[in-house]
Structure formats: structure tokens, C-alpha cells
Amino acid sequence: MIAGGPLYTAMVSARLETPNNAARGLGMVVGEAISALIHNPEQRLNFDMSETDSADSRRLKSLTKVNDKLGPVKPLLATKELPKTNPSPVYIKQKPKKPKPTAPPSQKSKLIIEEVGSSDDDITPYDKPDSDDEDSEEDPTLVRRDNVKAPVYIRNLIVYLRDIDSYDKQKIGLKTAPSLIRRKANFGDEVRDHAEELATLFVGLQDKYDMEDFYELRLESMVSLVVALPKSMGPWFIKSFFQGDFSLSQRGVILAALGIATRELGGFQQSAYAAGASFPSKKLTEKMDRLFLGPSSSDQASASGSNLKALPPTALDGIAKSMATSFLGPLAAEAADKATGPDALKLSTLKSKVKRATNNKTGTPNISSKVIAAYILRPLVERYQYAISVKGSRMARILAEPYLLTTYLKTVAVAYHAGGPAMPDLLDLTNLAWDALGPQITDTIEWLNQLLTIVRGGEQEEDDVRLLASGVMVRLHQIVEKYRMNLMGAVY
């Protein structure tokens, strides 16, 4: 009954998918033990792994064969009388006392005082120093001689992060991780071979010692992994988000890392750790660098991990707000132009000023739009669509949490913006995302109308919500009007 039920199958599957080695090994042991009770030797479940063949695993599996029956109670209740024996008297021999030696009579010595004339009256004594030289010496018990050095290899970094009982290793490992990952990404296969292990450590890492920049450095390290290996680590983080056994905060960190990494891949921003990511053997010496490249490049290349500032925990929120501001800017300028009169009577309109200021910015060519579309945006939207299609599932309930849903929508919006209009299959991806987030544009407009009716305003957050909802509604009306004009032109 147990082995054939869905709860047992779901338990074994969940144990096999968990990143915790102990939980995964215990799930395999329980599966083999229960399968050995009900299946034939040819059909028994056998993982054939070292975790299930250890001494502890064999001892746990042998518990199903224990047959401990209750014995009779009478032997335990029977009392046995012990024979009484008279204790024999013990004679103690007394040692003869030795006579104490008499002390000889003490003679009192008389003190002899002799007055000697001093001839050193002219000598001036030195003043007593304020502190003794011995006080300035370091206490040997307080001097630390086991200073932890910064890791130079990815394997050393993994050892540092695994040692949760050492504060120094955890701190130095986190501070070194972003620059070390970026520096090793293009030289050798160290990062590629240990990327998934590093990502698992970063997601599951806990702030045991209440470090100052713990969450910022952990987020920066995860961003460095996605930027270094977007084709492999982008899908891995998305799979872990939807299938891993993580908390809401850990899932939120995964989404934030994906959103910030897509911005950097799209060329919209550059991490502070990217400047110091060049390999030391590929650089000139400091003297030659200043001679041929100037002081600015040498100062920029000499940035170390200790002098850099990591991303704040609200970096994704800041990106989303800046995108909303850039989205609402032209709409607000157009509304202001309509309110002040026709454009023909003005020397310059606000809309043209906003457009001119936007065009003056030098953009970076987006060469990663294909990578963003194929390895981040598409799996992010498709897995979300599949998760919410299974009604009543655990993942559907998790995705309905306001914090996680808000972070997910921000990540998708940032990924679309980072991919840009040159993103391949943009229409297909837009239809896919629109099907996942809303059935029709008209339904979205009705929902925005209800939102504007419910949210009255008066506070800063409510005013921001009303402003953004109004801007989205205006933009949707423009899209519908443009579609109608194109349709009328095609008909006539």
C-alpha cells in the first residue's frame, strides 16, 4: 500500500532532487529498504551508489529485518536472597610515634647601623619614564599567526565557503568570489567545472556571523556566475527556482541575480568587479602600463575586491523604477504638450526634448540578445506558464506570494528590456509572456480601470501605483488604436 501510493513516489522523487546530500542519501536508503520488502530480487530498487552501500546505510536497511519479540515477565520479577555473612573484625596496627626533635634555643641577632657619608649629592637623577618598554610588547597569546589568505583557485574558494565554522574563511571567500569568478571565467575550465557546485553553495549560504555586506556579496557572486556562463547557469538557476527546495528569500535572490545579469549582458550596466577581472598574466607591469596606457587605465585595472562595493539588495527594485521612469517620461511630456496648446505654436515641445536627450546617449551594441532570449527569457516564461497550469500544486501556491510574484514580473520586464528590439523571436516571446500574464489586452485595460478605482492615492506608494497604471493604460490604448488604424487601412 505504501510503495504503490503517490505519496511514497513523491517522497522519493523529492529526496532525489534535493541539493542536500544527507537528505538525498536517506531517501535512497528508504526507497531500497521498502522495495526489498515487497519486490522480487529482479525488480528491487537498487541505486548502486556509495551512499547506499556504506556501513550506516546497511545498518539502516537492516532495521526492516529486526524481529524483537516480548519475553516472559516472571524472570524479571523473581527475587533472589543473598546469604548473610558476618563481617570479620579487622585489626589495625598502630605505628609507634616518633619523638619530636626539640629545637635549639634561638639567639636574637642585634642590628648594627652604620652611618656612611654620601658624596653623590651633585648627581641629578633621571625622571621615571611614563611607560615601560615591556608594556608595549605584543601579547604572544593574542597574536594570530594563522592568517587566512585569499583563495586563488576555484577549488580553494569552494573549501572556504564550505567551512561554515570559520568566520575568516567565509568573509574572505565572499569578498574574493565575484572578482575570482570573473577573472577565471575566460581562462581555463575551473569555473565551468565547478559552476553548479558554486551556485548551490551561494544559494544555500546563510549569514551565520551577521556580516556587513553578506547579502550584497552573495548576490554579486551569483551575478558573476550568470555573466560568466549564461548558456549553462541561466537555465540552471531557473530550474532551481522552479524545482529546488528553497525558501522565498532564496528564490527572490535567484530572480534578482538573473535580472541584474541580463542587464549586464545587454550592455546597460557594468559591474564594479568587471574592471579587475583581467588575468594578471595578460597585463603589463604597473610602470609600463602608465607609460603606454596612461594613469587612468592603470588605476582602473588595479581595483581589488576589498575596494569595490557590491550590489545593494534592492538593486532590482532600482532598475525597475528607472525603467518605469523612462517609460513614463515620453507619455508625461506628450500629456504636458497637449495641455499647453497645439505644437504648431511652440518653438520646441517637451516630447522633442525628451527624445533629443535620449538620442544623445551613446549606446552599447547588444550582442547578447540571442543568449538572453534563448537561455534566460524563454525558459523563465515557459516554466512559469507550466507551473501555474497545474492547479493546486505547491509551486503554484509559492508563485502566488506577492513578494515572489512582484520580483518575478520585475525580472521578466528587465530581461525584455535588456534583450532589446533585436531579440530573435521577439513576437513569439511576447505572445508567450502575454499568455502567461494576461489573456487579452482588453482584460488588462479593465483590470487597470478597477485598480485606479480601488487605489485612491494620497500616499507616495499609492500615487506611484496610480501613475504607473495610468501610463500603462495610455500605452495600451495607443497599441489598440494603432492596430485599428492598420486594420482599417488593410480593409480599405
Same domain? For 36 and 164 the reply is: no
Pair (180, 285) in one structural domain: yes
- What pLDDT score was predicted for residue 1? 59
Same domain, 159 and 261: yes
My answer on whether 183 and 306 are in the same domain is: yes
pLDDT computed for residue 297 by the predictor: 44
Confidence class for position 91, pLDDT limits 50, 70, 90: low
pLDDT recorded at residue 302: 42
Which residue would you say has higher pLDDT here, 1 or 227? 227
Res 236: pLDDT: 96
171 and 35, same structural domain?
A: no
Q: Give the cell for residue 11.
A: 517522497
Q: Do residue 57 and residue 178 come from a single domain?
A: no
Who has greater pLDDT, 73 or 282? 73
Give a yes or no: residue 104 inside a domain.
no
Confidence of residue 223 (pLDDT cuts 50, 70, 90): very high
Q: Residue 25: exposed, middle, or buried by beta-carbon count in 10 A (0-12, 13-18, 19+)? A: buried
Q: Which of 94-103, 262-271, 303-312, 322-331 has the lowest mean pLDDT?
A: 303-312
Distance CA 23, CA 204 (A): 15
How many domains in the chain? 3
Q: Does any domain span residue 328?
A: no
Query: What average pLDDT does the segment 108-135 reach?
Result: 59
Among 123-132, 385-394, 475-484, name the one with the lowest average pLDDT: 123-132
- Work out the pLDDT band at 438, boundaries 50, 70, 90: very low
Q: Distance (Å, rounded) from C-alpha 369 to C-alpha 373?
A: 6
- Residue 111 counted as domain residue: no
39-43, 295-299, 461-465, range with the lowest pLDDT: 295-299
Same domain membership, residue 297 and residue 199: yes
Nearest to 372 by CA among 361, 381, 364, 384: 381
Structural contact between residues 219 and 311, judged by C-beta atoms closer than 8 angstroms: yes
What's the CA gap between 265 and 370, in Å, rounded?
11
Min mean pLDDT across 57-61, 274-278, 357-361 is at 357-361
Last residue of a domain, one of 46, 64, 82: 64
Q: Which amino acid is at 383?
A: R
For helices 460-491 and 315-340, what crossing angle results, to 10°?
A: 60
Identify whether 342 is part of a domain: no
Whole-number pLDDT of residue 49 = 78
Q: Do 306 and 175 share a structural domain? A: yes
Exposed / middle / buried, residue 11 (Cβ in 10 Å: 0-12, 13-18, 19+): middle
> 225-234, 346-355, 439-448, 474-483 — which is least confidently predicted?
346-355
Of the ranges 19-33, 90-104, 297-311, 354-368, which one carries the lowest mean pLDDT score?
A: 297-311
Higher pLDDT among residues 408 and 484, named by residue: 408
Burial label for 56, CB within 10 Å (0-12, 13-18, 19+), is: exposed
Tell which of 248, 281, 312 closes a domain. 312
Q: How many of the other CB atoms lie within 10 Å of CB of 345?
A: 7
Burial class of residue 116 in the structure, from the number of CB atoms within 10 Å of its CB (0-12 exposed, 13-18 middle, 19+ buried): exposed
**pLDDT tens figures, 2-56:** 666 777 778 878 877 777 778 888 888 888 888 888 877 777 777 777 778 888 8
Q: Give the CATH number of the domain where residue 211 resides.
A: 1.25.40.720
Q: Which pLDDT score, from 0 to 100, does residue 159 have?
A: 93
Give the DSSP letter of residue 347.
S
| Higher pLDDT among residues 444 and 233, named by residue | 233
Q: 350 in a domain, yes or no?
A: no
Residue 134: its pLDDT value, please?
53
Is 406 among the domain residues? Answer: no
Residue 119: the pLDDT is 57
Domain limit, last residue, from 293, 312, 331: 312
Q: Are residues 41 and 173 both part of a single domain?
A: no
Instruction: Tell which residue, 443, 444, 428, 440, has the closest CA to residue 382.
Output: 428
pLDDT of residue 428: 76
Mean local confidence (pLDDT), 243-271: 89
The pLDDT of residue 56 is 84
Q: How far is CA 390 from CA 6, 7, 369, 379, 387, in A?
A: 16, 17, 31, 17, 6
Higher pLDDT, 309 or 46: 46
Same domain, 166 and 295: yes
Per-residue pLDDT, 19: 76
pLDDT at residue number 202: 94
**Chain segment 379-413, per-residue pLDDT in tens:** 998 899 889 888 888 898 998 898 898 889 889 88
| Average pLDDT score, the chain | 75
What pLDDT is recorded for position 354? Answer: 47
CB burial string 422-450: b at 16+ within 10 A, e below:
ebeebeebeebbeebeeeeeeebeeebee
* Percentages (nearest 5) of helix, strand, coil residues in the chain: 60, 0, 40
Tell me whether residue 352 is in a domain.
Answer: no
Structural domain contains residue 399: no
Residue scoring higher pLDDT (141 or 258): 258
Query: Range of 170's domain?
Result: 154-312
Q: What is the pLDDT of residue 257?
A: 93
Kindly indicate the confidence band of residue 299, based on its pLDDT and cuts at 50, 70 and 90. very low
Each residue of 331-381: pLDDT tens digit? 555 555 554 555 544 445 545 554 544 444 444 455 678 899 899 999 998
